[in-house]
Chain A
Amino acid sequence: MVKRLFAYIGQYKKYVISCIFLMTFDVLCEMMMPFLMAKIVDVGIPQKDIAFIARVGGLMIVLALAAIGFGVLNMRFSANASQGFAANIRRALFDKVQSFSFSNIDYFSTASLVTRLTNDVTQMQVMLLMSLRILLRAPLMLITACFFAMSINLKLSGIILIAMPVLVISIYFVIRSAEHLFSTMQQRLDSLNNTVRENLIAIRVVKAFVREEYEKLKFKKVNDAFTKAAINAGYLISLAMPVILFILNFTTIAVIWFGGKMVSTGTMGTGELIGFISYVMQILTSTMIFSMVFILYARAEASAQRIVEVLDAKVDIADKPALPEGGITPSVSSGKVEFRNVYFRYGNSVNSNGSANNNGFNNKMGKDVLSDITFNIESGEIVGIIGGTGSGKTSLISLIPRLYDVTAGQVLVDGTDVRDYNLKTLRDGIGIVLQTNVLFSGTIRENLLWGNENAAQEEIEEAARNAQAHDFIMSFPDGYDTILGQAGVNLSGGQKQRLCIARALLKKPYILILDDSTSSVDVATEAKIMESFNKNLKESTIIIISQRISSIKEADKIIVLDDGKISGIGTHEMLYESNTIYREIYDTQQGGLIL
């Protein structure tokens, strides 16, 4: 997975290549040092050649200065490369996520998508940065140090052949047990954090039920479990260091023993021995760092996998590759809607790619949410949809702008199957106000312009008036330029809903869908909104989901949903006569309210 992501280095490849060259030069400069030093000790000193010593010493200083240059440039380029790499991945992820269908969004939860775009990308960036700065150095050092060590004394280099495997095997065992211990530790850390988070969020519940002691006990358990795992992992690491030190030090002793003999027999110089020891240390250190590569990549692998999962996600709702026969792109022209024997269930297409579902379970999955839905809406009609919690109201309207695709049957807009439309064209023709009522940080105007970015002030105001939002907007000191969000004004639920309606109205849609969008708006204001719809949106088809019968009583047609099936269609009077569910809902709401 990590490998696959390397393709995203893209235009920053030049930095990566420069880094490799710079590092090679840097390592060569550094590796020359002990070699040159050996020359001073073995040639310069015995021959009492001060000029030679100064020349070699001068060369060493020049090399060190050059190495500073290479090193600094390497730092610059590695920073550029890794941040560029991260920026490219982030962008690819963001672009991909923008192409997601609603099913994709449901499948990856919001929180998990945010983590993938932030933490996981940072992991990849750190991985590349570390690779270019430290890890890539290891094999280069290993090779050059081996070369210099062997060129000093081939026979003595045999020691390396013994020491290296011992080191590699020890490290292998440490890593193998470490992976297990660290993943246990990570799991327990997650559950520790989860316990704290839940406690903080629900602190009122805790206090209301006097569960402080219970919570303390719960925390003590997860806290102790984590500490135990952390100590176990820490113990392993505390064992690793001395073992490695031990190997390194005993290799030194072996080199001195065998090298010492060679020095006294004259087959090796003292300086060469000192130099050789330096090289052996470099070799073993590099081997160790090199094995870190595997740990780092194993870590990065988990992040890479999560990133690739997003990049590879199959987007189940996309434009048809080619235009339908005849070659004309259909467009929404009047706002007729037809459902023909529609069946729908969640998650049948996206989850088939086999990866585990993050949600643990999804009780909506695998069950038909809508079954055998057939109805017809004429252009310009106002249609109400009513039904209990979970009866499938939202699912039903989601099929019209193709937020989800039907499982079976057909949804037609203006006589054309919604799947034959260009997605953008289809959604441009439909205005929908979702239940979530999300507004974005920025001014009220900026938010409304989402409906139509070229709208003039008069159009904006008209839409706001129709949604009964103009008056409260003007009551803010900054009017339409009032800033929303954390830095700005907090709106009440009803105000938010009206802004969302205005935003949808600005689209001047052929079909307007309101999903329980006036639940926090009072009855009188709601009535005014409906009135302006009747007056000013005669051309548009309007579909309204509501829990309040008062909102939809006047509709041309009311669809009563019950457990995913149509229980009745008709006007208020007809349904009140013939439909028991409708009558029951009406009666429970009617009792206290004079309407």
Chain B
Amino acid sequence: MEENKKVYGAGMRGGRGGGGRGVRSFEKPKNLWGTTAKTLKYLGKSKFLLIVVIICLLLSTITALAGSYFLKPLINNYIIPGDFKGLAVALLILGIIYMVGAGAAFLQSRFIVKVAQTTTNIIRRDLFDKLQGLELRYFDSHTHGELMSRFTNDVDNVQLMLESSLTQLISSVLTFIGTVTMMIILSPILFIITAIVLVIMVFISMKIASKSRYYFKNQQEILGELNGYIEESISGLKEIKVFNHEEHAKKAFNGINEKFRVTAANANFLAGVIMPIMGNLNNICYAATAVFGGILILMNRFDVGSLAAFLQYSRHIGQPINQITAQINNIMAGMAGAERIFEVMEQKPEVDNGNVTLVNACRTPDGSLKECEERTGLWAWKHPQSDGTVTYTELRGDVRFFDVNFEYEPGVPVLRNVSLYAKPGQKIAFVGSTGAGKTTITNLINRFYDVNEGRILYDGINIIEIKKADLRSSLAMVLQDTHLFTGTVIDNIRYGRLDATDEECINAAKIARADSFITRLPRGYHTVIRGDGGNLSQGERQLIAIARAAVASPPVMILDEATSSIDTHTERLIEKGMDALMAGRTVFVIAHRLSTVRNANAIIVIEHGQIIERGDHEELLALKGRYYQLCTGQIELE
């Protein structure tokens, strides 16, 4: 009956994204005990339920064992002598045992579902919350796919481990011990046969498992190659068509496809071959037991009832062994997943020692600032001093760099001795080759990264002293890669300022020149965007991203290649709208297109992490330096 449980469980779980039976994993955590301790800490929250689960497990295992043992008295004491009254009573007792067993099984699986799901819920949430607080450097060094698989594969494996592997392992071990004990009680001599077969079983299954591991690894490698080829050729399908390259692609695909077919068939074979071997060894054991049991009965050293019970046990002795090997594999995979999850959770979070905060302010009659509750449109930096007093500085958007040095990786300087200033009301543009450090400068202003040397002052305050959240909410950015979220267009715009009204969002869209295309969408502002706006063009996504920044209406705006996919005509219209919005505030612009930066108050030319020229368009042209060369097309912006 154990078999039923196994098959049923596997069938129902198929939909959870797991590969089902065909795929096995052979993974091991690096630090098993440390990870176990941490996992137990999570489980500790459901201590009480876990105890209930273990009691139920014990009960259902014992009732199953007792059910089989009952055959002996049933046959010997009632059926053979023909005592029907006794039989009825005995069957009633058996019925009760079965009921208790079924009840225990029900409670056990119900509670473990609850334990496993609530535990993984907390793990997922902790993981997500933790990620929100990590430094950008962490995201630079880990791909999305990699972090994504913490949430999918790894949490799945933990969940599988908690929900079924652990309980099945415990119940298999209990069943195995119980079965062996019962067999020894029934007949130590017959058990010798079973023991011999068991040793053979363990030996064979270990042999096959190690071979299987090798083929599995092989299969995974070629699967990677195959999926990679599919991915590439489908992403580049339009190119293939344009170059009449279809036949080549088919041929190359066929080669990999065939290679995978052969390897995968081998891996599948080895993963499955253990089943018939173990099953039939069990049958051999059964046959040998029947023969020797029969002979023992003839020698009057055994009875039919005991033989029936013994055969019941012997028939199922192989199953707990198969289960134990399978479940240990699953648990190891679960632990390896848990270990990777904990690795993320133990990352150093983004440090934030700032104590300067941003508050709504209003002016007192004597002209100084004071904090006030309501949104006044006037903001101030609240700066607690060491002597306990608090000073207020008006938020204006004055940004200054003093001899800033920065490197992403030690020994590879990205910015060298950068000093610059941007006064409120100015538009500052950065021009330079890819990799010159333009985006890096803006990333330092909002403290995505911290400077290695030098200082950045914001309204006269060193930005290290400002709380990151407050610093960032005083800046709005439109990033090089525009990203949108699943949700309506208007919600995406509102992301810039959560309390913005619909009207404010639509106004922002108008400034960004996004209004006209949005109103042409099937449901206008309430059209749902999916898959990072995959059904919008790059230009349209940029327009929404600009609207999102515009609705925030911050004192400082950073536009990083924000209009690269928008035609110059529309760009000019947006610029006009933005100029009106940002009047008296600071704007940083990074653009590849020189026409985009022409109207800036100051154009800063950066090469190899250093500022080489600064001035407005006319001044820089007069200088006949790098900017002049760029404009006249004498050098290349790469």
Question: A33 and B265: CB pair below 8 A?
Answer: no
A235 CB within 8 Å of chain B: yes
Residues of B within 8 A of A240 (CB): 8
Question: A360 and B530: CB pair below 8 A?
Answer: yes
A450 to B247, CA, bound (A): 12
A387 to B567, CA, bound (A): 8
From B9, which residue of chain A is reached at the shortest CB distance? A237
Given contacts A129-B22, A210-B473, A389-B567, is CB(A68)–CB(B277) below 8 Å? yes
Given contacts A44-B294, A87-B258, A264-B79, is CB(A524)–CB(B634) below 8 Å? yes
Question: A37 and B129: CB pair below 8 A?
Answer: no
Question: B566 and A224: CB pair below 8 A?
Answer: no
Question: B569 and A584: CB pair below 8 A?
Answer: yes
Query: Within the complex, which residue of B19, B103, B238, B595 is in contact with A105, where a contact is CB–CB below 8 Å?
Result: B238
Q: Which of A77-85, A153-161, A322-330 contacts B (4 or more CB under 8 A)?
A: A77-85
From B539, which residue of chain A is reached at the shortest CB distance? A389
118-160 of chain B: CB within 8 A of chain A: 118, 120-121, 124-125, 128-129, 131-133, 136, 139, 144, 147-148, 151-152
B237 CB within 8 Å of chain A: yes
Interface string of B460-483 (1 = CB under 8 A from A): 000000001100110111010001
Question: A40 and B290: CB pair below 8 A?
Answer: yes
Interface string of A262-284 (1 = CB under 8 A from B): 01110000110110001001000
A289 to B11, CA, bound (A): 9
A403 to B468, CA, bound (A): 50
A585 CB within 8 Å of chain B: yes
B532 CB within 8 Å of chain A: yes
Question: B98 and A208: CB pair below 8 A?
Answer: no
A589 to B240, CA, bound (A): 35
Question: A84 and B261: CB pair below 8 A?
Answer: yes
Given contacts A61-B287, A83-B261, A389-B566, is CB(A67)–CB(B530) below 8 Å? no
Interface string of B70-93 (1 = CB under 8 A from A): 010011001111101001100100
Question: B102 and A242: CB pair below 8 A?
Answer: yes
Residues of B within 8 A of A408 (CB): none
B29 CB within 8 Å of chain A: no
B337 to chain A, nearest CB (A): 15
From B125, which residue of chain A is reached at the shortest CB distance? A223
A210 to B486, CA, bound (A): 18
From B81, which residue of chain A is reached at the shortest CB distance? A264
Question: A75 and B117: CB pair below 8 A?
Answer: no
Question: B291 and A40: CB pair below 8 A?
Answer: yes
Residues of A within 8 A of B266 (CB): 79
Question: B272 and A495: CB pair below 8 A?
Answer: no
Query: Within the complex, which residue of A36, A65, A95, A292 is in contact with B7, where a contact is CB–CB below 8 Å?
Result: A292
A228 to chain B, nearest CB (A): 9
Question: A360 and B19: CB pair below 8 A?
Answer: no
Query: Within the complex, which residue of A79, A87, A95, A245 is in contact with B268, where a contact is CB–CB below 8 Å?
Result: A79
A100 CB within 8 Å of chain B: yes
Given contacts A198-B486, A589-B568, is CB(A523)–CB(B633) below 8 Å? yes
Query: Within the complex, which residue of A79, A133, A189, A235 is in contact with B110, where a contact is CB–CB below 8 Å?
Result: A235
Question: B5 and A241: CB pair below 8 A?
Answer: yes
Question: A122 and B19: CB pair below 8 A?
Answer: yes
A388 to B106, CA, bound (A): 66
Residues of B within 8 A of A68 (CB): 276-277, 280-281
Given contacts A129-B268, A360-B528, is CB(A33)–CB(B286) below 8 Å? yes
A424 to B121, CA, bound (A): 55
How many A-B residue contacts, CB cutoff 8 Å? 504
Classify chain B: how many residues form its interface, as a range: 35 or more
From B554, which residue of chain A is reached at the shortest CB distance? A209
Query: Within the complex, which residue of B1, B78, B286, B635 is in contact with A524, where a contact is CB–CB below 8 Å?
Result: B635
A428 CB within 8 Å of chain B: yes
Query: Within the complex, which residue of B235, B277, B594, B631 is in contact with A71, where a contact is CB–CB below 8 Å?
Result: B277
A445 to chain B, nearest CB (A): 15
Question: A206 and B132: CB pair below 8 A?
Answer: yes
Query: Within the complex, which residue of B298, B531, B594 is in contact with A50, where a contact is CB–CB below 8 Å?
Result: B298
Residues of A within 8 A of B206 (CB): none
541-595 of chain A: CB within 8 A of chain B: 547, 584-585, 588-589, 591-595
Query: Within the complex, which residue of B11, B22, B103, B595 is in contact with A591, where a contact is CB–CB below 8 Å?
Result: B595
Residues of A within 8 A of B592 (CB): 520
A535 to B136, CA, bound (A): 50
Given contacts A60-B287, A299-B14, A389-B570, is CB(A285)–CB(B535) below 8 Å? no
A33 to B258, CA, bound (A): 41
Given contacts A110-B235, A193-B151, is CB(A71)–CB(B275) below 8 Å? yes
Q: Which of A247-255, A331-339, A411-419 contacts B (4 or more CB under 8 A)?
A: A247-255
A396 to B222, CA, bound (A): 42
Interface string of B539-570 (1 = CB under 8 A from A): 10000000010001000000000000111111
Residues of A within 8 A of B469 (CB): 210, 212
Q: Which of B378-386, B406-414, B519-527 contacts A (4 or more CB under 8 A)?
A: B519-527
Residues of A within 8 A of B348 (CB): none
B116 to chain A, nearest CB (A): 8
A102 CB within 8 Å of chain B: yes
A370 CB within 8 Å of chain B: no
Residues of B within 8 A of A211 (CB): 495
B598 CB within 8 Å of chain A: yes
A241 to B102, CA, bound (A): 8
Question: A194 and B129: CB pair below 8 A?
Answer: no
Question: B3 and A196: CB pair below 8 A?
Answer: no
Residues of B within 8 A of A36 (CB): 287, 290
Residues of A within 8 A of B99 (CB): 246
Interface string of A110-133 (1 = CB under 8 A from B): 110110011000100110011001
Question: A201 and B242: CB pair below 8 A?
Answer: no
Interface string of B612-638 (1 = CB under 8 A from A): 000001000100000000111111111
- Among all A-B residue pairs, the 4 with the closest Cβ atoms: A71-B276, A57-B291, A234-B113, A60-B287
A-B contact pairs, 21 of them (CB 8 A): A64-B281, A64-B284, A71-B279, A87-B261, A111-B531, A126-B21, A129-B22, A197-B148, A202-B485, A205-B479, A234-B110, A242-B106, A246-B98, A264-B79, A274-B75, A388-B569, A438-B239, A494-B638, A523-B633, A585-B569, A592-B594
15 A-B pairs besides A206-B132, A363-B536, A494-B636 with CB distance below 8 A are: A53-B294, A63-B287, A75-B275, A94-B233, A105-B237, A130-B21, A192-B151, A198-B483, A199-B132, A234-B116, A235-B110, A240-B8, A257-B87, A260-B79, A271-B304
